[in-house]
Amino acid sequence: MSELAEPQIPAAPSMVRLPLLQLILVGLQHVLLMYGGAVAVPLIIGEAAGLSREEIAFLINADLLVAGIATIVQSLGIGPVGIRMPVMMGASFAAVGSMVAMAGMPGIGLQGIFGATIAAGFFGMLIAPFMSKVVRFFPPLVTGTVITAIGLSLFPVAVNWAGGGAAAAQFGSPIYLGIAALVLATILLINRFMHGFWVNISVLIGMALGYALCGILGMVDLSGLAQAPWVQVVTPLHFGMPKFELAPILSMCLVVVIIFVESTGMFIALGKITGQEVTPRMLRRGLLCDAGASFFAGFFNTFTHSSFAQNIGLVQMTGVRCRSVTLAAGVFLIILSLLPKAAFLVASIPPAVLGGAAIAMFGMVAATGIKILQEADIADRRNQLLVAVSIGMGLIPVVRPEFFAQLPLWMSPITHSGIAMATLSALSLNLLFNILGGAERAAASVHAHTH
């Protein structure tokens, strides 16, 4: 019993053996949180490509398989690949706009999407060593701004979930708000009055209570569960040989660059949360895993992959920072990919349940960014301007997704990503104000002190 009463918060790079029950439950938390995002991309692309329900289910299982394998590689580290931090992987939303357009192009379709994904993954592996050198351009001022923007850009997702889901017929109904409030209140009360093991699984407990209440109220939709097979193995090239067309490949290569920008910010954020410095070598390993996952994803009937920002908030909230937890979560994802019925049950979690948990966790990401900004000279007017403009740029795609609709389609992976917009803005303004303008500011400071 004492083992459960004491908090288990090992150092970030460790593979400390947690008690089996805790390992299973905390790993399951990670899966439940990212599952909705993981299945959303294959669902959207499958609908755009006009696939049957069975084929879309196969796409989802393929995505879970690649996400699970990539999560294990990212957490464990194999050879020169994997950042060896508690990272969850899944299909990236950065490419959704481009892939929906490809799905409707004559002669492209799914096979063209998979071919572009393979080519872009290979391109990513080539440029990862060069992209990894950008760590020095992420001082606390930039890092704190980017992490704050990540949290704020995720928050509308939490609000949509809490209101019953963006497609809910009665969005904002008191029943949805009540369920989300119950989940959130449960998490807060556990964190206030309990310790150790219970705090580590507070999100899971809150979601379990919310799910049980939804079941009692008849809000859990299990239609189709009986028809789902018990076991289904994902086979490579299920939809035929990939097609390699120049325009889709160029579009997806741009997406990979944006994924690298997003992942860099998320890896550094995770490093700050876990107290581990992200070196260029570590970043290279992480980006290589992102690119390698995308490369193999094209062969296994799925799409570009990247690290999931949602799970960073869970690491901060639970305090469980060891990578053995995400390693276990990766195993769960692989099992779910083989057991469609189990995956179906996870997918039946109502959005309001997810929303209650997400409000706390996504807010924790933003709070971490604010904490990191305290390490920067935030009293400086130019630095304040950098933070203000960068967070504002990051919120544009969140507040009005159609704001950049008149710009060329190839820019959509950038303009539709709040994380990418905030990161590029913070990097550019830091270069303008503090790197190129560094000598001028130093001279002005000396002049002020001598007078």
Per the structure, how many domains does the chain have? 1
d(CA 302, CA 240): 13
What is the C-alpha separation between 85 and 103, in angstroms, rounded? 35
Whole-number pLDDT of residue 38: 74
Return the pLDDT at 377.
Answer: 86
Question: Cα–Cα distance between 299 and 212 in angstroms, integer?
Answer: 39
Q: Is 306 helix (H, G, I), strand (E, B) or coil?
A: strand
In order along its 451 residues, the chain shows pLDDT tens digits of 333 333 343 444 455 667 788 888 888 888 877 776 677 778 767 767 777 767 777 888 898 999 999 999 998 888 899 999 888 998 887 777 677 777 777 777 888 889 999 999 999 999 888 887 777 787 888 888 887 887 887 788 788 888 988 777 888 899 999 999 999 999 899 888 887 677 777 878 888 899 899 989 888 877 777 777 788 788 888 888 888 888 788 878 877 887 887 788 888 888 888 888 888 889 999 999 999 999 999 999 888 888 887 777 778 777 777 888 889 999 999 998 888 777 777 667 788 888 888 888 778 778 878 888 888 888 889 999 999 999 999 899 888 888 888 887 767 767 777 777 888 899 899 999 888 866 555 555 444 445 5
DSSP character string of 202-270: HHHHHHHHHHHHHHHTT----TTTTTS-S-----TTTT-S----HHHHHHHHHHHHHHHHHHHHHHHHH
Q: What is the pLDDT of residue 413?
A: 66
Whether 351 is covered by a domain: the verdict is: yes
> Does residue 400 sit within a domain?
no
pLDDT at 174: 92
Distance of CA 252 to the CA centre of its chain: 18
User: Is residue 112, in this structure, part of any structural domain at all?
Assistant: yes
At position 202, the amino acid (one-letter code) is S
How far CA 205 is from CA of 201, 208, 433, 450, in Å, comes to 6, 5, 47, 61
Distance CA 89, CA 392 (A): 27
Q: What per-residue confidence (pLDDT) applies to 8?
A: 40
CA distance 329 to 72: 8
**Rounded-to-integer distance, Cα 397 and Cα 393, Å:** 8
Residue 134 near residue 287 (C-beta atoms within 8 A): no
Residue 130 lies in a domain: yes
Between CA 316 and CA 128 the distance in angstroms is: 27
Say if 147 falls within a structural domain: yes
Q: Write the DSSP symbol of residue 92.
A: -
At residue 239, the pLDDT reads 84
C-alpha torsion 416→421→424→425, nearest 10: 150
Q: Record the pTM.
A: 0.72
Both tokens of residue 326? 């995400």
pLDDT at 387: 93
| Residue among 412, 115, 373 at smallest CA distance from 269 | 373
**Running DSSP on this structure, what letter comes out for residue 90?**
E
In 3D space, the residue among 74, 78, 62, 35 whose CA is nearest the CA of residue 117 turns out to be 62
Q: Confirm whether 375 is domain-assigned.
A: no
> What was the pLDDT predicted at 441?
58
Q: Are 149 and 399 in contact (CB under 8 A)?
A: no
> Measured between alpha carbons, how far is residue 61 from residues 25, 65, 349, 406, 432 in Å?
22, 6, 17, 35, 46
Distance (Å, whole) CA 50 – CA 47 = 5
**Where in the sequence is the domain holding 123, given as residue range(s)?**
20-368
Q: For residue 450, tell me if it sits in a domain.
A: no
Q: Which residues pair with 90 in a beta bridge?
A: 306
CA 393 to centroid of chain Cα atoms: 19
Q: How many Cβ atoms sit within 10 Å of the Cβ of residue 157?
A: 20
Is residue 152 helix, strand or coil? helix
Per-residue confidence (pLDDT) for residue 299, from 0 to 100: 93
In a domain, 385, yes or no: no
The whole-angstrom separation of Cα 121 and Cα 133 is 19
- What six digits make up the tokens of 48? 């755009």
